[in-house]
Structure 1
Amino acid sequence: MESDELYPPERLAAARRATVAAGLDALLLTPGADLRYLTGYQARAGERLTCLVLPAEGEPTLIVPALERPAAEASPAPATGVRIVDHADGTDPYPLVAAALGGPVGTVGLADRMWAEQVLALRAALPGAQQRLAGEVLRELRIRKSPAEVAALAEAGAAIDAVHRRMGEWLRPGRTEAEVAADIAAAIREAGHVTVDFVIVAAGPNGASPHHDTSDRPIGAGEPVVVDIGGTMSSGYRSDCTRTYVSGGPAPTEFNDYYAVLAEAQRAAVAAVRPGVSAEAVDATARDVITGAGYGSAFLHRTGHGIGLDGHEEPYVVAGNARPLEPGMAFSIEPGIYLAGRHGARIEDIVVCTTDGVQRLNITSTELIAL
């Protein structure tokens, strides 16, 4: 996929228009998904300042450490029309931000996850400027994925599906969660990801903790095992998929009963996705099935989160989010049931809202997988 398809120059113009509409004079973006979304540059986060200065009027400037200028110039950023300015070690880079703004500014939007030391340094360098969050502007641009972005997410989904299909090579009784996770991490890279973002292998009672990592606990025969894995592709777009397995013997009857409920809830929530349906209605679809079966208190988290250049981004599929879904919105559908001290289960697919319904980007079976 060509970089100008995934990171088109028109994004800077769209961001500038949105900056004006939001009543901001400029956006100041340090390394992260927003900077990459606008320029294609995967900048290194560190104590040396990297900052995209996007004035509402005027030339966009990418300020980088001198030693990282070659990387910035080799990225898609120059093709988007940004001017690159560098600073040497030992010099103060913050006056370069003020210079790139071209004059006094009243209000600037800062990257939502900018380091506090940079926020405070910019406050000192631009003493007359109010600070707001750039997410107010960029959230609306990023929430609807372009066809090229959907293709990148589909590529990521296929890569993580390929890892799940290999689970029988690694997951078996007697091996520890950590041993299985090490094999999975290697396979995530082999499948085309450039980084491994997370590997959750949660067997038996550990499966009742949704964000369990791994441990040195051996996997027992017949224990349910929740495997939640994801990584980042060279495109910058992410994968995230959860399946639940059982190895070496039959799962407990109680588990089989509620897994059937969970699978029904997940299928129903995926099927509910279409333009105009609210995010909270999709959450309610999954939650109503689980609650109706008596497991409502065991569904501990929201039904889903958006995904793209960030692993978690808008839209969030959760009670209280009345925003209607629109074509191009990409997010997870991942209900779970967790019984403390016993076991748990989660099923997660990434889906995209289309013009007339939904597209699953993870297509492996959602049935309980016996290895």
Structure 2
Amino acid sequence: MLSKRAFLSGAVASGVVVASGVKAQTQTVTPTQGLPNLAAGATPISVAERQARIARLQEQMQRQKIAGLLIEGGTSLTYFTGLRWGRSERVTAALIPARGEVVIVTPYFEESRTRETLEVPAEVRTWNEDESPYALIAGALKDRGAANGTLAVEGTTRYFIIDGLKQQGAFEVVSGEALVAVCRRIKSPAELALMQTANDITLAALRHVHANIKVGMASRDIAALMNDATRALGGAPEFALTLLNEASAYPHGTKTPQTVCEGSVILMDCGCALLDYESDITRTWVYGEATARQRKVWDTVRRGQEIVLETAKVGVPVAKLDAAVRAFYDKEGWGPGFTLPGLSHRAGHGIGMDGHEAPYLVGNDPTPLEAGMCFSDEPGLYIPGEFGVRLEDCWYMTPTGPKLFSPLARSLEDPI
């Protein structure tokens, strides 16, 4: 699952510089000293909840006759074990067998760090630099009573690991994406509480930024102010995409430097992490007096957000939410479909530990809505050569309908 932060970082690395990364003149910004720490009372996911996740996964594997699931570093590893681990050529992974205790496979010199961060009961098996981690995984599976059969691997697992497992010749290797999705796509009350606080932080930071924009500020200045406010409020900044003027017409910006002036369109797409869970909020406004065209587009996008939420009901395929807002935009003269000027991307995405998760609010995703699923709602409109408007709020499904983590923008003049 690719996060928005990772995508934007990759764009910069490849030479496509978004507006928030452009060099700018130095600006004097308002201190964030008086902002409260909204994360002070946040409660981490408990060991008991992680163990319940493992038990649910094992029940699925037993029903489907799958011997085990292998998960390398990433959010799914954290989801089940609490282990926070980056990826390198050296394999660290969790083997969750259909029956029995979890096994963590890691390099010998990483054993202490692994045990220090692990949050569930597990056996730790180590391999030296001249040994095969894949043989160690095969041996662990055999010791759990499954010398052969089917081994699932988490959906983002890199191919060299899959290839190494296949060369053991003891089991069939298949995708475990569906196994993990069944667990992760329904958020628990504890997860929803963390996401609520993360969104509270991002909204408060945006409010602080909105009140302190000045003529001459560049995207970089505004993004820095957003990140400073997010930290002061208790969140870990993930992204602060800031698009000014014509750059707002392109969902992830352009390489052309932009600064704030009278009549500037300001689009900010921002998120933070709190105890592994993400927020994602976008606001667009005009600095100074808005034109009639800017106001009309803003009002249309705001109505588009409402249509997405009005369509959301338990059992409705998520594709219908995207279709509903596109039908409205088509009648208003935008599009059709993904055509510009119009809505060139999906109407929203799943969110949780990753900024972008399945299911997605797009026409080819038939997943039915269930209580506990979480999404963004962001049906923007973009006019190349002029400006764009995106408003984004995250929400979760309940048995009686959607519930927002952040209230929809009130007006173009008061968007926070």
1:275 counterpart (314, 318, 323): 314
> For residue 75 of structure 1, what is the aligned residue in structure 2?
117
* 2:321 matches 1:321: no
After TM superposition, the runs of 4+ consecutive aligned structure 1 residues lying more than 6 A away are none
2:293 is the alignment partner of 1:251: no
Match of 1:189 in 2: 231
Pick aligned residue for 1:230 from 260, 271, 274? 271
* Compared CA separation, residues 94 and 108, structure 1 to 2 (3 A): same
The partner residue of 1:287 within 318, 326, 331 is 326
On the 8 A contact 1:22/1:137 being kept in 2, the answer is no
The alpha-carbon deviation at position 257 of structure 1 amounts to 1.0
1:25-36 aligned at under 5 Å gives the runs: 25-36=67-78
- Shift, 1:364, TM fit: 5.9
AA in 2 matched with 1:293: E
Q: 1:229·1:242 contact (CA, 8 Å) conserved in 2?
A: yes
Which residue is 2:155 aligned to? 112
Distance 1:344 1:269, change over 3 A: same
Q: Which amino acid aligns with 1:96?
A: L
Q: 2:321, 2:361 within 8 Å by CA — same for their partners in 1?
A: yes
Q: Structure 1 residues 206-215 or 305-314, which shifts more?
A: 206-215
Counterpart amino acid of residue 100 in structure 1: A
TM-superposed CA distance for 1:214, in Å, is 7.3
Letter in 2 for 1:341: G
Match of 2:249 in 1: 208
Supply the distance in 2 between the matched residues of 1:128 and 1:155 (Cα, whole angstroms).
46
1:359 aligns with 2:359: no
- 1:105 CA displacement: 2.4
Aligned residue runs from structure 1 range 327-342, under 5 A: 327-342=371-386
1:127 aligns with 2:169: yes
Deviation for aligned residue 1:337: 0.2
| Aligned positions of 1:157-176 closer than 5 A | 157-176=199-218
The AA in structure 2 aligned to 1:218 is T
Change (3 A) 1:260 1:60: same
Determine helix, strand or coil for the equivalent of 2:125.
strand
Equivalent residue letter for 1:38: F
3-state DSSP of counterpart to 1:140: helix
- Is 1:92 aligned to 2:132, yes or no? yes
| Residue 56 of structure 1 pairs with residue 98 of structure 2 | yes
Return closer, same or farther for 1:363/1:66 CA change in 2, 3 Å cut-off.
farther
AA of the residue aligned to 1:204: N
State TM-score, norm by structure 1: 0.91
Distance 1:47 1:320 in 2: 35
The amino acid across from 2:78 in the alignment is: R
Q: Is the 8 A contact 1:178 1:216 kept in 2?
A: no
The verdict on how the C-alpha distance between 1:241 and 1:6 changes in structure 2, with shifts beyond 3 A counting, is farther
Query: What is the CA deviation profile of residues 63-103 of structure 1, one whole-angstrom value per residue up to 9, with x for unaligned ones?
Result: 223444344333352xx332222334554333221121125
Contact 2:277 2:352 in 1 (8 A): yes
Structure 2 residue 326 is the aligned partner of structure 1 residue 300 = no
- Distance in 2 between residues matched to 1:188 and 1:6, nearest whole Å: 30
Mapped partners of 1:292, 1:117: distance in 2: 49
Q: Which 5+ residue runs of structure 2 have no aligned equivalent?
A: 1-42
Cα deviation 1:180-200 (Å, max 9, x = unaligned): 112222222222223x32221
**Contact 2:95-2:137 at 8 Å conserved across structures:** yes
CA contact (8 A) 1:330 1:351 kept: yes
Q: Which residue of 2 aligns with 1:260?
A: 299
* Equivalent pair of 1:264/1:289 in contact (CA under 8 Å): no
What displacement does 1:170 show? 4.5
Kindly report the root-mean-square deviation, in angstroms, between the aligned alpha carbons of the 2 structures: 2.2
**Change in 2 beyond 3 A, CA 1:88/1:159:** farther
- Corresponding position of 1:346: 390
Q: Give the length in aligned residue pairs.
A: 365
**Are 2:60 and 1:18 aligned?**
yes
> Which structure has more RCO (C-alpha within 8 Å, separation ≥ 6)?
2
- The CA distance in 1 between the partners of 2:66 and 2:234, in whole Å, is 39
CA shift in 2, pair 1:105/1:367, >3 Å: farther
